């Protein structure tokens, strides 16, 4: 199965691509080189080719954050990992307070600045609101950063003071950027330049090992040779000199602007907001003025005069690529098959990109039924938009547009990870709360304390048991304890350390669980002996229904759908419960299962608990099954006696395929 970067190889010798890259690299500084007539995701393919061929850092400026995110996702599928980074805005509004900043975005910005200091060319994707904020200069970042390598001589006390000077916060457990913790010869630190925190282990004054770890479970991810300590580079209360991102990227960096006039207008808009916010400041602390923190449109336009610039152009000049956007087929697959066959007869290669394996298999089945001899090249992974390129003899479609599905963009959420469950619960525990230890039973939480272990101070969890017995638990054994849940208003009895009572209680519980399991096994054995109806494999209409879902299936949705259909195709009666929060797609699974039954000439009853839900499900089922051979109706107390009689008669006559209702449908 091919991948999206296969398209890079197909365009490698393209005359139009090579002419554009050569012109961009050699044009006089300040001249705007236009990429005209490149439809769909072709601009992303050109940008990826530019990095590969020109080997220069490229700053790509799209018109807004959403466009930038889709462009980023396209480049991530076309280029090796780590070759493209996203540069977002950091503050929700100019001169915002610290609690109104986005730590995740600050981390992403710091990572870009750190990578731009290196020799490896990268693509930085951004948008006007992000570059409106100036960044600290390279010299200042060098002065405020420190690289730590395995084998380096570094005193833990000095590192502690250095991190305080960088305004890092010392905590018990590292959870987000700008935090660090010290436990004897182990230092955990979350630098703004890395997506994960690092654990530094010292042997005396020597760095013995450096490992990244997961803040959720505190487990090691990988060993590394070095890491860079970078502070919050977006602290706008500091008085350091700042410059634009493009100036920071250096004079050799190329710039690609989607729509220059839009970018300049948005820069001026952010600057005006900054001026208004600055006038309204009431602070005794001196703050830098807007011109020191933000970039005006005219200022940035003058700066661009000294570098190579590419822009998105209009397809009117002779250098236009003359490509077309992917047509809208409105889920008319016969028209799609006819169009693809026409391109095939014209000698054009057909490529279809699919974001999910399930979508690819559905589309394959549909096209096979409509035109068995159609040869299509399939790509595992979909760019944002498809295109038609007659000159290159290539047609590239994306599946989500064929099925009118929404494609979500994804931006790596670098630092805003959820805390570990154990850490959250630990932080939520109050002294005196009941906890259960897997080996020692029920005790009371006594807080975090530092104890001496072999001459080294370490943090431990204090647990108090009956008769004031105390157990100290290492923080590395958090998985052994859990908050103890009991009935409201009742207190459990504390366990006695060394007593067999807790082990006896566990043994008794295990025996009871085995008894329940035995009863369940007997029940399920009887069910397996019963014979049910084995439904047929998915039909063409089933594929069409599932492919028309407006959103991408979640992994759990895909698994649940497959499990339900496997149950239905088995002669054993189905006994399955689908669990999930509101809005996570349970109804969609029910729609698919119901239609699968209808396709085998069965009638389906959907039982719901409330009158309102009956009508809501009726609307949902009707909308999803619109255009398919399935009639949906409903029964609840809001329907008149006459309407109910008609519905029941139609149901008896087999005219209704799916009936949705409350307990009335059981009467």
Predicted confidence at residue 424, as pLDDT, reads 58
Query: Are 105 and 248 within one domain?
Result: yes
The secondary structure element, H or E, covering residue 208 is strand 206-213
Query: Are 69 and 163 within one domain?
Result: no
Query: How do residues 196-251 score in pLDDT, each as one tens digit?
Result: 899 999 998 999 999 999 887 778 899 999 999 988 877 655 667 889 999 999 88
Query: Are 393 and 438 within one domain?
Result: no
Strands of the sheet with 206-213, listed across from one edge: 169-170, 179-183, 186-189, 198-203, 206-213, 220-224
Instruction: Confirm if 160 and 169 have CB atoms less than 8 A apart.
Output: no
Query: How do residues 561-576 score in pLDDT, each as one tens digit?
Result: 999 999 999 998 888 9
Predicted confidence at residue 97, as pLDDT, reads 58
Regions of the chain where pLDDT drops below 70: 91-93, 95-103, 235-239, 282-286, 314-319, 413-425, 454, 456, 476, 488-489
Q: To the nearest 10°, the Cα dihedral for 639, 642, 648, 654?
A: -110
Dist CA 491 CA 509 (whole Å):
20
Tokens of 615: 């009508």
Query: Are 255 and 223 within one domain?
Result: no
| Number of other CB atoms surrounding residue 390 within 10 Å | 14
Dist CA 479 CA 550 (whole Å):
40
Instruction: Confirm if 56 and 72 have CB atoms less than 8 A apart.
Output: no
Query: In 530-629, where does DSSP find H-type helix?
Result: 540-547, 555-568, 586-599, 611-624
DSSP symbols for 48-62: HHHHHHH---EEEE-
Q: Torsions phi, psi of 266, nearest 5?
A: -70, -35
Tokens of 639: 């329907």
Q: Helix count (H) and strand count (E) of the chain?
A: 22, 29
Q: At what angle do helices 42-54 and 15-26 cross, to 10 degrees?
A: 60
Beta strand spans in 365-469 (E)? 377-380, 387-389, 394-398, 434-437, 441-453, 456-464
- Give, in order, the Cα–Cα distances in Å from 485 to each of 482, 505, 560: 9, 16, 31
Query: Are 215 and 103 within one domain?
Result: no
DSSP secondary structure letter of residue 4: T
Query: Are 591 and 447 within one domain?
Result: no
Total domains in the chain come to 5
Domain assignment present for 509: no
Predicted confidence at residue 421, as pLDDT, reads 39
Domain assignment present for 251: yes
CATH number at residue 544: 3.40.50.300
Instruction: Confirm if 4 and 383 have CB atoms less than 8 A apart.
Output: yes
Predicted confidence at residue 373, as pLDDT, reads 85
Domain assignment present for 329: no
Dist CA 396 CA 388 (whole Å):
6
Burial of 628 per CB tally in 10 Å (0-12, 13-18, 19+): middle
Tokens of 625: 């099954």
Dist CA 111 CA 82 (whole Å):
11
Contact partners, residue 407, CB within 8 Å, separation at least 6: 70, 355, 382, 384, 398, 400, 552
Query: Are 102 and 211 within one domain?
Result: no
Domain assignment present for 519: no
Query: In 391-539, where does DSSP find H-type helix?
Result: 399-402, 421-428, 501-529
| Rg of the chain in Å (alpha carbons) | 31
Instruction: Confirm if 63 and 262 have CB atoms less than 8 A apart.
Output: yes
Query: How do residues 133-146 score in pLDDT, each as one tens digit?
Result: 999 888 888 888 89
Q: Is the sign of the CA dihedral 27, 32, 36, 42 positive or negative?
A: positive
Domain assignment present for 527: no
- Give, in order, the Cα–Cα distances in Å from 244 to each of 22, 131, 133, 136, 294: 27, 7, 7, 9, 8
Q: What is the domain extent for residue 282?
A: 6-136+241-313
Query: Are 589 and 661 within one domain?
Result: yes
Contact partners, residue 322, CB within 8 Å, separation at least 6: 37, 315, 390, 391
CATH number at residue 430: 2.40.10.170
Domain assignment present for 384: yes
Query: Are 248 and 156 within one domain?
Result: no
Contact partners, residue 440, CB within 8 Å, separation at least 6: 463, 465, 471, 495, 497, 502
Predicted confidence at residue 237, as pLDDT, reads 57
Query: Are 221 and 254 within one domain?
Result: no
Query: Are 60 and 94 within one domain?
Result: yes
Domain's final residue, options 201, 229, 257: 229
Query: Are 104 and 38 within one domain?
Result: yes
The secondary structure element, H or E, covering residue 162 is helix 156-165
Dist CA 172 CA 188 (whole Å):
10
Instruction: Confirm if 428 and 141 have CB atoms less than 8 A apart.
Output: no
Predicted confidence at residue 69, as pLDDT, reads 93
Domain assignment present for 525: no
Query: How do residues 288-304 score in pLDDT, each as one tens digit?
Result: 888 888 999 999 999 98
Domain's final residue, options 278, 313, 348: 313
Domain assignment present for 532: no
The secondary structure element, H or E, covering residue 494 is none
Domain's final residue, options 372, 402, 432: 402
């Amino acid at each position: 199965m091919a991948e999206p970067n296969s398209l890079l190889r197909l365009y490698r010798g393209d005359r139009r691509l090579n002419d554009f890259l050569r012109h961009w690299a050699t044009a006089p500084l300040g001249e705007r080189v236009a990429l005209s007539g490149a439809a769909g995701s072709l601009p992303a393919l050109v940008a990826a080719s530019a990095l590969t061929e020109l080997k220069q850092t490229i700053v790509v400026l799209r018109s807004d954050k959403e466009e930038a995110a889709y462009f980023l996702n396209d480049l991530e599928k076309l280029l090796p990992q780590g070759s493209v980074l996203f540069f977002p805005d950091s503050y929700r509004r100019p001169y915002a307070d610290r609690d109104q900043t986005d730590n995740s975005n600050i981390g992403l910005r710091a990572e870009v600045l750190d990578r731009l200091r290196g020799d490896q060319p990268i693509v930085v994707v951004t948008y006007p609101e992000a570059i409106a904020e100036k960044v600290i200069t390279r010299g200042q970042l060098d002065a405020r950063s420190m690289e730590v390598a395995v084998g380096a001589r570094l005193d833990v006390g000095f590192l502690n003071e250095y991190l305080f000077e960088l305004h890092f916060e010392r905590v018990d457990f590292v959870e987000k950027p700008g935090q660090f913790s010290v436990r004897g010869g182990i230092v955990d630190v979350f630098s703004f330049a890395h997506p994960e925190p690092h654990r530094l282990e010292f042997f005396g004054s020597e760095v013995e090992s450096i490992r990244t770890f997961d803040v959720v479970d505190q487990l090691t991810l990988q060993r590394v040779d070095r890491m860079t300590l970078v502070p919050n580079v977006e602290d706008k209360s500091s008085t350091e000199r700042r410059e634009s991102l493009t100036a920071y990227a250096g004079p050799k960096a190329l710039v690609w602007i989607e729509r220059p006039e839009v970018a300049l207008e948005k820069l001026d808009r952010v600057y005006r907001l900054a001026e208004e916010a600055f006038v309204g400041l009431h602070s005794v602390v001196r703050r830098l003025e807007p011109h020191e923190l933000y970039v005006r449109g005219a200022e940035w336009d003058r700066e661009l005069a000294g570098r190579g610039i590419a822009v998105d152009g209009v397809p009117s000049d002779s250098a236009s690529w003359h490509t077309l956007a992917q047509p809208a087929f409105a889920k008319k697959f016969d028209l799609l098959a006819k169009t693809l066959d026409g391109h095939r007869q014209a000698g054009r290669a057909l490529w279809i990109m699919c974001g999910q394996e399930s979508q690819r298999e559905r589309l394959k089945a549909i096209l096979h039924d409509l035109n068995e001899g159609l040869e299509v090249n399939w790509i595992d992974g979909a760019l944002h938009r498809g295109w038609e390129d007659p000159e290159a003899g290539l047609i590239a479609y994306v599946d989500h547009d064929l099925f009118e599905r929404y494609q979500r963009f994804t931006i790596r959420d670098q630092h805003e990870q959820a805390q570990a469950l154990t850490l959250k619960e630990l932080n939520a525990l109050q002294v005196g709360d009941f906890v259960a230890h897997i080996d020692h039973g029920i005790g009371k939480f006594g807080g975090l304390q530092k104890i001496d272990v072999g001459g080294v101070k370490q943090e431990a969890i204090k647990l108090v048991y009956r008769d004031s017995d105390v157990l100290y638990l290492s923080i590395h054994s958090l998985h052994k304890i859990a908050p103890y849940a009991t009935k409201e208003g009742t207190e459990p009895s504390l366990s006695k350390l060394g007593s067999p009572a807790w082990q006896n209680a566990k043994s008794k519980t295990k025996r009871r669980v085995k008894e329940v399991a035995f009863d369940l096994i007997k029940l399920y054995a009887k069910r397996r002996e019963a014979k049910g109806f084995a439904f047929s494999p998915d039909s063409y209409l089933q594929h069409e229904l599932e492919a028309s879902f407006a959103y991408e299936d979640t992994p759990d949705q895909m698994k649940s759908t497959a499990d339900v259909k496997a149950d239905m195709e088995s002669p054993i009666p189905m006994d399955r419960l689908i669990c999930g929060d509101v809005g996570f797609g349970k109804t969609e699974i029910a729609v698919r299962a119901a239609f699968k039954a209808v396709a085998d000439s069965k009638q389906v009853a959907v039982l719901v608990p409330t009158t309102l839900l009956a009508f809501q499900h009726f609307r949902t089922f009707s909308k999803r099954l619109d255009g398919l051979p399935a009639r949906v109706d409903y029964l609840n107390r809001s329907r008149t006696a006459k309407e109910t009689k008609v519905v029941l008669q139609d149901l008896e006559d087999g005219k209704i395929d799916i009936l949705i209702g409350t307990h009335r449908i059981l009467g």
